[in-house]
Every structure is written in C-alpha cells, then in structure tokens.
C-alpha cells in the first residue's frame, strides 16, 4: 500500500542531493481505465529507481491503492491544497518538479492530453506539467478509445505537446476495455519501464552531472488527416 508522509516534511524529503543515488521517477496517472495497471507500473520502476506517484481524482476510481508499493508516496489533488497554509510554505507541484529527474504520465487520458496541450493546470498533475522544467525528460503513454485516438483534436494536441518537448510512448492495437478492437491501448507497463530506463542509462555522464545529448528521430502515425510525424529524443554518448 502506498505510504503517506506529513505535509510539513514534503520539501525536506525532496531536497536535492549531489551524492550518487538512484534516478528519481515521478509517475502520474490520469482518469483512463488503463489506470488499473498503475500499481504494476510502480512495481516495475521501484527496484531500479526512487518513485513518487501522482493520481488525479478520476484515476482513483480505477487504482487499487493497496497494491501500490509501500515505499511509494501517492499524492492526490487534496495534498496540493492541504500542504500549503501560508506564504513561505512549500508548494507541492513545485517540490515534485524539483525532486524528479524524469516524469512519466501513464496512462495519459484524452482529457489530460487536451489540458496539457492547452496549458491548463486545474489539478496537481497538470500543475506539475505546466511548471515542468523541459530540460528534464517527460514521457507520456496515452490510453483512449480508438475513435478518440483518431479524433482530429488528438493530432493537434500531440503536435502541441511534442513542441513542448514531451516524448510519446505510443499506444498499441488490441482489444480495448470497451470491447472495441483497435489502436489506443496504453503500452504495457514493462514496455514503458524499459523505454524510460534505456533512455536514462544511455545518457552520458560528465563531471558528475548527467548530460542529455538530444538528437531527434521521427515516428509516424496514420490519422484521418494523413500522416502525423512526431519527434522523439535520441540519446547517445558524447563526442567530447
């Protein structure tokens, strides 16, 4: 079961250290039925990384909180408001952004995709996204019905978040929870974990700091409007 911590200690527990440590991964889930896999996703990352978790209120309908690893702190919208009492207090979405090396939203619902693409920040998750330092990696794994995935708005929203620097872990084609068969299912937790870990471990380390070496590779999706091309970062060894 996910543990909790006193809100007064949030900032202290998230202080940045220069000592060697595990990567810090901020996992977040939005209100898609694929959130039933969120506990599994947390387990995938826990042996390799320090993990903090964020859940929107709608996603709590699908999450089994007792299945989340006991050392993973799960933050909700209520924590955002209860942790601030007066000027000078820590602001949770800022502290989480400072703490994390990488953010991963899985699943990313059509609604939360639209919010991030439009710059909205009406809950803890979207406030973190709006305040994110885009020099740090940010991955999303969408999950939605095939017709939602193929909707023209989805194409526009994917282009918008791509321009921000958010990397897409593509959905897959399978039998969906609604019974339809098609593209839009979230990638499996093991695939999401492997993608993020491979990315992180391919970064070159120089002078005690992790250096991100960004090139780009193109991926294509067929949509009703034609081919949608998105860029994803590729990381490799420095030539220096």
Q: What is the pLDDT of residues 165-199, one digit of tens each?
A: 999 999 999 999 888 999 999 999 999 999 999 98
Count how many Cα atoms sit within 13 Å of the Cα of residue 237 in the half-sphere of its side chain. Answer: 1
- What does DSSP say about strands 172-175 and 181-185: parallel, antiparallel, or unpaired? antiparallel
Homologous superfamily of 21-203: Flavin prenyltransferase-like (3.40.50.1950)
Q: How far apart, in whole angstroms, are the C-alpha atoms of residue 219 and residue 230?
A: 5
Largest CA distance in the chain: 52
Q: If we measure between CA atoms, which residue out of 10, 37, 180 comes closest to residue 93?
A: 10
Structure token pair of residue 231: 């860029």
CA 228 from chain centre, in angstroms, equals 22
Residue 43 falls in the annotated catalytic set = no
Look at the pTM and tell me if it is higher than 0.85: no
Of residues 178 and 105, which shows the higher confidence score? Answer: 105
- Please measure the distance between the N-terminal and C-terminal CA atoms of the chain and give it in whole angstroms: 45
- What does DSSP say about strands 215-223 and 209-211: parallel, antiparallel, or unpaired? unpaired
Residue 93 falls in the annotated catalytic set = yes
Q: How far apart, in whole angstroms, are the C-alpha atoms of residue 107 and residue 171?
A: 10
Of residues 225 and 189, which shows the higher confidence score? Answer: 189
Q: Which of 42, 93, 127, 157 is catalytic?
A: 93
């Amino acid at each position: 079961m996910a543990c909790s911590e006193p809100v007064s200690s949030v900032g202290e527990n998230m202080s940045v250290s220069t000592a060697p440590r595990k990567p810090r991964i901020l996992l977040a889930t939005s209100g898609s039925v694929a959130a039933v896999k969120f506990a599994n996703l947390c387990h995938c990352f826990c042996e390799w990384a320090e993990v903090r978790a964020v859940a929107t209120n709608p996603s709590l309908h699908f999450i089994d909180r007792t299945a989340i690893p006991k050392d993973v702190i799960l933050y909700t919208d209520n924590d955002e408001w209860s942790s601030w009492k007066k000027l000078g207090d820590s602001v949770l979405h800022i502290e989480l952004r400072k703490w994390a090396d990488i953010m991963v939203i899985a699943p990313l619902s059509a609604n939360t995709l639209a919010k991030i693409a439009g710059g909205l920040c009406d809950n803890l998750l979207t406030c973190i996204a709006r305040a994110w330092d885009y020099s740090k990696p940010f991955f999303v794994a969408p999950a939605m019905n095939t017709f939602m995935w193929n909707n023209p708005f989805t194409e526009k929203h994917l282009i918008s978040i791509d321009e921000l620097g958010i990397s897409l872990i593509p959905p897959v084609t399978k039998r969906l929870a609604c019974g339809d068969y098609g593209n839009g299912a979230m990638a499996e937790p093991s695939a999401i974990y492997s993608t993020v870990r491979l990315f992180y471990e391919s970064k070159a380390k120089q002078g005690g700091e992790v250096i991100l070496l960004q090139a780009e590779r193109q991926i294509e999706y067929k949509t009703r409007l034609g081919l949608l091309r998105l860029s994803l970062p590729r990381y490799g060894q420095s030539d220096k």
